Chain A
Amino acid sequence: MDIFLQLLASGLLLGGIYVLVSVGLTLVFGVMKIVNFAHGDFLMLGMFGAFFLFQLLGVHPYVSMFIMALLLFALGIVFYKLIVGRTIGRPHVVQIFAFIGLSVALQNLALVLFSADFRGINMPLSSAVISLGPIHIGVPLLVAFLIAAVITVLLFLFLHYTYVGKAIRAASQDRFSATLMGVSNSKIYMLTFAIGIGLLGVAGSLLIPIYSVYPTVGEQFALIAFVVVVLGGLGSLPGAVIGGLLIGVIETLSSYFIAPSMKQLVYFTVFILILILRPNGLLGRPGDAEEAV
């Protein structure tokens, strides 16, 4: 029983990280109907940023969280102006492969600048553990989980109770009618994309005490984010939360009960099954996957 509780706790905490990595992806898809295939590479930039802020300037990751969020927000605007904005409403091949080109360029730029080494930061925080009765919890994981919860709630409140948030949701529900109501789609898209990327600055900073960073680190996280977001329903924020927590628990349980090397097999199988049986995910809007969005 203890071991089961421990696994459940670890799984939920891991799931919190997956939620954190996935909310930006689902937000961007929900509003812009674009799948950001370079999502993981922006996370990689966030992790490298937090790493260097700590290594060179001694900035604590929980401080650099705010700096990286702003930096990546700005980067999101730049890339929106340069690339993303030009793919809106274009055929899938343009949308998908513009992001893949961007992903290849970012990964290899990181390779040139930072080499392929694995880099992690070494601070007392990284190995701190709290014990709650029989359950042991890593502090950085717990912090990441709590901040993920706060961010998701804030994002939800922002989308539902602010004027800009309502405009974003309006644009995601019906871009044509939203335009008629005076919403500027291009501004909304730019803002959404920048928020989606900015959140990865937070995620990157929270991950750096836990995981090492290297140029292709984004690939694994991006694949998990796709699994999470498709499971929950592309474009659904509550879906990403449920999907993230589920995948975290599934991964932890299957590494323990089957084999650590099989955990990926398990969640990719879940992913494929969801795509086939319920392509709109648990909470997605019907028709998203069937229509050529």
Chain B
Amino acid sequence: MKRTTVYQLLGLLVALALPLVLGEQDFLLDTLIMMVLWAFIACSWNIVGGYGGMLSLGHAAFFGIGAYTSTILFVHYGISPWVGMLLGAVLAGLFGLFIGAVTLRLHGPFFTLCTIAVMEVLMIIAINWKSLTQGSSGIPVPYRPGVLNMMFDSKAAYFYLALALLALSYGFTRWMNRSHFGYYLIGVRENEQAAQALGISSIRVRLIAMVISSALTAMGGTFYAQYIGIIEPMHEFSFALSAQIALMAIIGGIGTAGGPIFGAVLITLLGTVLRSLLGGAQGGLQAVVYGVLLVLVVLFIPQGVVPWFRQLLAKRKGGTVRVDRAEPV
């Protein structure tokens, strides 16, 4: 077996065993569940943002679509969130297709600005369409435990579900790393004209990436709604949430399969540690540190922590290093 495969299996085993070891320590399990959920979302963002080089800062839109679709169906019509999750994914996928199609000509900061604007529009709609969304006060999700309702008595069940979601997007990214589709996507990111000259349909590749990334992100939204128990437009469609998703992938290392996971672990841990050190208020001093760290990472380790660390290790051994990419888009 290859060494990476061994590491992956080991990581999976450790992850599976964690709830058993921790027992019912709610705080730790809570942190772990959110960590895995963010890792899943960051991995999903990475498909578009990292491999595709389309730096979306509106991914909260898809997260929100997922959360609202399943919650509205569940609360108003009693439809199982499992069905809602799939419908939300389809809806978000279609929406991603739409955004991808209308932004085909836009690159770099222009694409980024457009994704922000689209998310803001959804937020305004969610706030104002009161009969459907209950406006800015949000929708509480009634707690009715049951496998069919995607609500569980034990936190361990949520943890395993989040882990399964993470496996989905991580698996897809691993597959992308060695598939034609992945190479096409990277080719389009690096040089669209050259890729087109080689016969790659850059439009198709970009759209597929958008659809998959949006659909996966929406599934995370449904999970979040069922786990947290309330959804609000000001959070679900917020710029802060979008930025956080992108940041995890960037700090870990965009355009690599493992980077976003590591980034999510790092940021969640950092957030928890800073909160306990610097006080529990929302925002505040820990967010200042977080912002400064972000600037430092982007300026000095723009490839992300994972590839940087790999390079360091290789340098110490004196060997050559397989660099996924020197510097991201």
Contact = CB atoms under 8 A, between A and B. Distances in A.
A91 B112 CA distance: 14
A103 interface: yes
A93 B328 contact: yes
Nearest to B289: A105
A92 B302 CA distance: 11
A196 to B, nearest CB: 16
Interface stretch (A43-51, A174-182, A268-276): A268-276
Interface string B269-296: 0000000000000011101101111110
A92 B247 CA distance: 14
Contacts of B247: 97, 100
Contact of B329 (A91, A101, A268, A291): A91
A272 B114 contact: yes
A271 B110 CA distance: 11
A107 B299 CA distance: 20
A275 B110 contact: yes
A217 to B, nearest CB: 14
B248 to A, nearest CB: 12
Contact of B291 (A94, A103, A262): A103
A135 interface: no
A279 interface: yes
B121 interface: yes
B128 to A, nearest CB: 6
B109 A96 contact: yes
Given A98-B295, A262-B128, A293 B108 contact: yes
Interface string A78-116: 000001001100111111111011111111110110000
A92 B327 contact: no
Interface residues of A, number: 46
Interface string B231-243: 0000000010001
B117 A272 contact: yes
Given A96-B112, A105-B291, A276-B102, A87 B299 contact: yes
Given A108-B291, A291-B107, A93 B254 contact: yes
B312 interface: no
Contact of A105 (B107, B116, B125, B295): B295
B299 A264 contact: no
Interface in A252-279: 261-262, 264-265, 268-269, 271-272, 275-276, 279
Interface residues of B, number: 45
B178 interface: no
Interface in A98-157: 98, 100-109, 111-112
Contacts of B55: 92-93, 96
A83 B299 contact: yes
A104 B114 CA distance: 20
A104 B246 CA distance: 14
Contacts, number: 144
Contact of A98 (B103, B116, B239, B299): B299
A226 interface: yes
B250 A97 contact: yes
A292 interface: yes
Contact of A97 (B110, B116, B118, B246): B246
Interface string B50-72: 00000101000000000000000
A292 B112 contact: no
A33 B34 CA distance: 37
A241 B129 CA distance: 34
B124 A230 contact: no
A280 B49 CA distance: 23
Contact of B118 (A90, A100, A272): A272
B106 interface: yes
Given A93-B329, A97-B294, A101-B295, A268 B117 contact: yes
Contacts of A104: 243, 287-288, 290-291, 294
A35 interface: yes
B40 to A, nearest CB: 21
Contacts of B292: 101, 105
A264 B294 CA distance: 30
A289 interface: yes
11 contacts: A91-B302, A94-B328, A96-B112, A104-B294, A108-B287, A109-B288, A226-B116, A261-B128, A264-B120, A271-B117, A289-B107
The 5 closest A-B pairs by CB, nearest first: A105-B291, A101-B294, A104-B291, A108-B287, A101-B295
Interface of A: 35, 83, 86-87, 90-98, 100-109, 111-112, 219, 223, 226-227, 230, 261-262, 264-265, 268-269, 271-272, 275-276, 279, 289-293
Interface of B: 55, 57, 102-103, 105-110, 112-114, 116-118, 120-121, 124-125, 127-128, 239, 243, 246-247, 250, 254, 283-285, 287-288, 290-295, 298-299, 302, 327-329
